[in-house]
Every structure is written in C-alpha cells, then in structure tokens.
Structure 1
Amino acid sequence: MFKKLALSLALPLTVTAAFAQAAEPTPAAAWYPSRYGAADEIGAANLLTPELVLNAAKLVKTGKTYALGIEINKDLPAFQHRSFKLYNVQPGEQAGLTMGPNQFTFNDELVVAWTGVGTQLNGIGHIGIDNVYYNGNRAADIVTMEGVKKLGLEKVPPLVTRGVVLDMTAHYGQDIVPEGTLFSVADIEAVLQKQGIEIGKGDVVLFNTGWLELIGKDNTRFLAGEPGIGLEAAQYLIDRGVVAIGGDTWALEAVPGDSDAVFPVNQLMLAKNGVYNLELIDSRALVRDRVWEFLFVLGQPRYTGTTQVTINPVAIH
C-alpha cells in the first residue's frame, strides 16, 4: 500500500499548469467557510486566549523543561523527496585570514533543506482537497513559487497552551507500537483514564508511540509506515476543541490506514477544521517522568509564505 502511496505523492517542483483545472471559483462546501469566518487564516489558533495561557501556566510545578524537537542532520530520515544539508562557511577567512587588529573570526552556517525535515509544525495551508485549502482558498489563487499568499505560518500566533501526552506504548504493552496500528476513540479514552487526565478546549494533544527509536536503527521501516490515529479518533479530538494534534511519527496518522485514501486525517484536521499537525515530537522524556500534562510553548520561525516549518517546542512542568 505504501509503495502505491509514495508513487501517488510524487511532487512537481513548479506550480505552473498544475492548477489550470481550478479556473472557476470554488463553490461553498460543507467544510467552508470556516467557523471562524470566511476571511480567517489561523484556524484553531483562534482558541488561544490570555485566560487559557494563564491556566496552562498553573501546570508549572517544578520548572523542569523538556525539549520536544529531535536533532536534525543530513542522516535524519525524511519523507520522500525531503533532505537537509548544513554547510559551515567562514567568509573572508580563507588560508587562515582574520579581521582587524584583534584577529576577529567567525562561523556562519548555510542550510539547504526542506522546511518539513525533523520536528515540524504543519500549518493549515499545507494540506488540501483537490487543490482547495482551509477556508476554501484555491491553490490557483494563493500558491506561488515564493510561498503561499494566504494561510502562511507567519500569521499564526505563538502556540502557548496546555499540552498533554498519551503514552500508547504502555497502552499496547510494546516499546514500539507496530505500523498500521489504528488508535480508536476507545484506546484514547482508556489512556486518558489510566493517566488521570482529560482533554480540554485549546489543548495540544501528543501521542507517544516509540517510533523515534527506529531512527538510525531501521530507517527503512521508520519511513515505510507508522501507527497513529484514524478519522474517528481525529474527529473525537477536533470535537473537543484542540488546537493541535501531534506525535512522534512523520505523518501522525496510521500508515497504512484503513482505506486507500491518502492522508485523510491530515485533510480532516488541516483543510477542513484548521487544527494544526505536530510531527516527530520527542515525548520520551515526558513519558519517562510520567509528566502527562504541562505548559506547551512554541514560537515557530516566521518564514513568510511557508506552510510548514522545523520547530523545537518546549514542555514546562
């Protein structure tokens, strides 16, 4: 199934004639205009309020911080076409040259990479349905070679809210939950009950599956599939008013899924509901310390026109 999926997702590197079929205005559909208004560009981030932040800050008990981003380098396995290369450059310092009487030297780094490598925030302009994106925005109207003219992540406020992590490894009794394992609503509710927490409006919900343990050990398996939520579980979380759903996998949803649809959960979350996707979140330390709820803090890079970006969010307990 994944081989078929990979072939269907081969991406063009230009956006010229690809959207010619969308010449006519897109009529209103059941999933747009958005509940936040026809002009909205930030989706579920509208739920973030000062009151919500203040309540989330009350979760800080010890002051311990947890970096949720994974280390990124050229050897990190990435989805299909994506890659990461970092080059150290020392301008004007060839052959040991220095600057000024104080012999000033410095290091600069040049990164040539896709913005979707490593731990990442997928924005609501990242995934579409037949070239239509969140709030009915057509690719023909918003997509350019220099990014999107609407729905860019530069418009999204910092994501500061309550975070919760659900340990699916304990639920299934396996250090690495097998690929294709589909988390049901019953599974989620069982974990919530066991951990003694609930999901509330404005939350960021993370899943720990052990999948990151495969990096560097079995990269082929890592990219060939993954455990995750399905449409039923995604809708369950959306109905509870979450801002973002994330996990330690590269696409969040189960691959292979329960149908031939290509990433339907991402379509439901991003395109239809404006709920953000957080991928390759490292929640292992949180699980080791049994920190099930925490203050989640993310100030993503504000690259104008990007729909996804590499991040290192922080959990504070």
Structure 2
Amino acid sequence: MRVSTVAAAAVLVLSPVPGQAHGPGEHHQVRDHQAEHHPAAQQMAQARPAQQQQQQQGANWHPSRYGANDTIGAMNLLTPQKVLEAARLVQRGQVYRLGVPVGRETPAYPPRNAAVTILMPDQHGGAIVPSENKVSYVDDMFTGWLGVGSQLDGFGHLGIDNVFYNGNRAEDFVRTTGVTKLGIENVPPMVTRGVLVDMARARNKPMLEEGEVITAEDLQAAMRDQGVQLRQGDVILIHTGWVEMLERDPARFGKGEPGIDAGAAEWLAGQGVVAVGADTWGVEAVPFKNPNRVWEGHQILLAKNGVHILEVMDTRGLARDRATEFLFVLGQPLLKGAVQAMINPIAIR
C-alpha cells in the first residue's frame, strides 16, 4: 500500500473512541439481557428481512434498529438458545487458537506498536524480596497500542464524520482518559456459532494477493461450494491465507491485504452476523479500489450496523481441517474506556 493511502486512512482510523457499561456487579452472561432493555428488539431483528435491514445503511442509519439507547448492536442476537445450538457443534473436543503472538516486531497499522518490558522491582544485582524463604518475582509492563495483532474492534473505534454507532457523537463521549460510552468493557461475551469461509480454497490457490477483492457474490458462491450457510447471530471468519505473510514477510503483511468490499460488508450485516473476521489486519481489501474512499466496510459494519470486526485471526488450522462451522468463544479483556482489545478467541469442534 502506498504511503499516501496509509496516511489518508489514518485520519479515519486513529481517532480514540467509546465506553458505556453494565455495572460492575452485573453478570455478562450470554442471555436475553438486551431484551430486558428492549423487549421487542430480538423479535424485530428476526422478523426483518435482510434487504430491509440494509436500508438502514443509507443516510438514516441511526437510531439503531435495537433502540435509540442501544450500545451492543448485533450482539442483541446472541441468546441462550443460540449458545446451545453452537455448543452442539462440539463433537471432537478439538480446540483451535485463533490469536497470534504479539511482540515488538509485530507489524501494525501506523503508528501503532506494542512492547513488553520485563522488570524485577527492587531486586537489582541479584537481590531478593526480604524474606526467610528468599522470594524472587518478575513483573511485566506493557507499552503500546491495543490495536496490534489479533484484535476486536469496538463500536467506538470508527465512525462517519465524527458520528459513531447509534448516532453517538465523538464530542460527547471521546476522552483521552477513555471513552465514556461504547467502551470495549461493555461488549458481552461472544459465544456462538462460528463459520469459516475459505476463500483461498475457493480460488484454488494458497493465498490471495494484496488488493484482491472479495464480493458478496464471492462469499455466497464459496459457501455454497463448501456446504455452509450463515445464520442470524453467527460469527463469520474469512480465510485468505494472508496470515502466512505475518511470519514469512512481516513488511509485506502490513503494507496491503486481500479483503471484502463495501458490498460484501453490507450483505454480511444484512445476514445478522455479530462479527466479521479475517486472517488479515483490516478485513477490507488494501490498496483500496478507490483511494479516496477508505475503510467503508468498517463504517458499514461498526457504525451503521453494530457488527464487530475481528482482525488478524489465525484461521490456518480451521482451513487445513476444512472446518466450516464450530463453537466460537471470546471473552475480551475488560479495558475500561478502550475502543479495541487484543484477543485470543477459541474455536472448538
């Protein structure tokens, strides 16, 4: 990706964002807790066809279909019934780690970086903690951005003209000390059915190329061939093979990527998914087809539809085993006032 493209995109992506939460004593179980706030939300979403949902992606994209005060978007669709349905997919007890290790050398969207510094406080020169049993301990200090490596994008991460999910304006909730609404700590646990779409297999090659676009029609065709369908409340992960570049050529990995276009983002939002993920750092195709229109897919998913984005998912194991559906489990760090979080989701078959 050209430096000019990165700079242009940075204007949109690197603004701070959200944080509104349930009280500290509330249980973040996957339950019908949003129905407690919006009793008709789930029924309305289930009854509304995809085309009608997509109409909300035009000029009038807020208030949210889940209510004017909603802060969790499509996560309203996660119910105990959905969890039970997903749990029945576990037949082998096979577990896949979807996160990638993060270190000082991990490529990230400029100017992001991350570092761990190891300390032995007050134990210089071989000293120990004053004690008869000679205690020694090591601590670590993290310095960096939360949008490095495998990550969850919250709704406060990216908006449209300083307006974020459900009409929340940056001036009202974005603070340097943490967002006061749409914070990552308010995202409920994500326990649901996961679907893998192997676009590398669909195109009969080990890896898609930089800027290679995946359309809604491409996703539909690949799912037909791979015998899997999306259902309301699912998480979809797209395998492009690009994650291989993270180890083989980190510089190339961070400069561009294959990914979806705006039309695919609209279609996915219309299917009622709760999150869209990929084995790339931005889910969308980069370089952008139109360099003057950047991160439209993020705007459609996050701001307009309340659908989370999962980046740098290690889908290699699932693709290797041709796993098309699985139990997906994510409990992100509850970093108060953050708009992103480093994550390590788990897929179980």
Per the normalisation by structure 2, the TM-score is 0.84
Q: Does 1:46 align with 2:102?
A: no
After TM superposition, the structure 1 = structure 2 runs for residues 123-272 of structure 1, keeping only pairs within 5 Å, are 123-259=154-290, 260-272=292-304
Are the counterparts in 2 of residues 86 and 111 from structure 1 also a CA contact under 8 Å?
yes
Q: Secondary structure at the match of 2:282?
A: coil
Q: Which residue of 1 aligns with 2:145?
A: 114
Are the counterparts in 2 of residues 123 and 307 from structure 1 also a CA contact under 8 Å?
yes
The verdict on how the C-alpha distance between 1:168 and 1:14 changes in structure 2, with shifts beyond 3 A counting, is closer
Q: Which residue of 1 aligns with 2:52?
A: none
Alpha-carbon distance in structure 2 between the residues aligned to 1:275 and 1:202:
10
The verdict on how the C-alpha distance between 1:69 and 1:90 changes in structure 2, with shifts beyond 3 A counting, is same
User: How far does residue 11 in structure 1 lie from its aligned partner after superposition?
Assistant: 5.5
Shifted more, 207-216 versus 80-89: the winner is 207-216
Root-mean-square deviation over aligned CA pairs: 1.7
Are the counterparts in 1 of residues 276 and 308 from structure 2 also a CA contact under 8 Å?
yes
The verdict on how the C-alpha distance between 1:300 and 1:14 changes in structure 2, with shifts beyond 3 A counting, is closer
Letter of the aligned partner of 1:220 in structure 2?
A
Per-residue Cα deviation, 1:10-36 (whole angstroms, up to 9, x for no partner): 469998xxxxxxxxxxxx950000011
Q: Which residue of 1 aligns with 2:314?
A: 282
Unaligned runs of 5+ in 2: 17-57
Letter of the aligned partner of 2:75 in structure 1?
A
Alpha-carbon distance in structure 2 between the residues aligned to 1:173 and 1:2:
28
Q: Which residue of 1 aligns with 2:46?
A: none
Q: Secondary structure at the match of 1:211?
A: coil
Are the counterparts in 2 of residues 14 and 145 from structure 1 also a CA contact under 8 Å?
no
How many residue pairs match? The answer is 305
Q: Which residue of 2 aligns with 1:293?
A: 325
Q: Does 1:3 align with 2:35?
A: no
Unaligned runs of 5+ in 1: 16-27
Q: Secondary structure at the match of 1:148?
A: coil
Runs of 4+ in 1 over 3 A off after TM superposition: 9-15
Per the normalisation by structure 1, the TM-score is 0.92
One of 62, 86, 104 as aligned partner of 2:135 = 104
User: How far does residue 92 in structure 1 lie from its aligned partner after superposition?
Assistant: 2.1
Q: Which residue of 1 aligns with 2:344?
A: 312
% identical aligned pairs = 47
Alpha-carbon distance in structure 2 between the residues aligned to 1:36 and 1:110:
40
Q: Which residue of 2 aligns with 1:85?
A: 115
Letter of the aligned partner of 1:189 in structure 2?
Q
Letter of the aligned partner of 2:149 in structure 1?
G
The verdict on how the C-alpha distance between 1:216 and 1:288 changes in structure 2, with shifts beyond 3 A counting, is closer
Q: Does 1:73 align with 2:103?
A: yes
Alpha-carbon distance in structure 2 between the residues aligned to 1:167 and 1:308:
26
Q: Which residue of 2 aligns with 1:32?
A: 62
Letter of the aligned partner of 1:212 in structure 2?
V
User: How far does residue 257 in structure 1 lie from its aligned partner after superposition?
Assistant: 2.8
Letter of the aligned partner of 1:93 in structure 2?
Q
Q: Secondary structure at the match of 2:202?
A: helix
Q: Which residue of 1 aligns with 2:33?
A: none
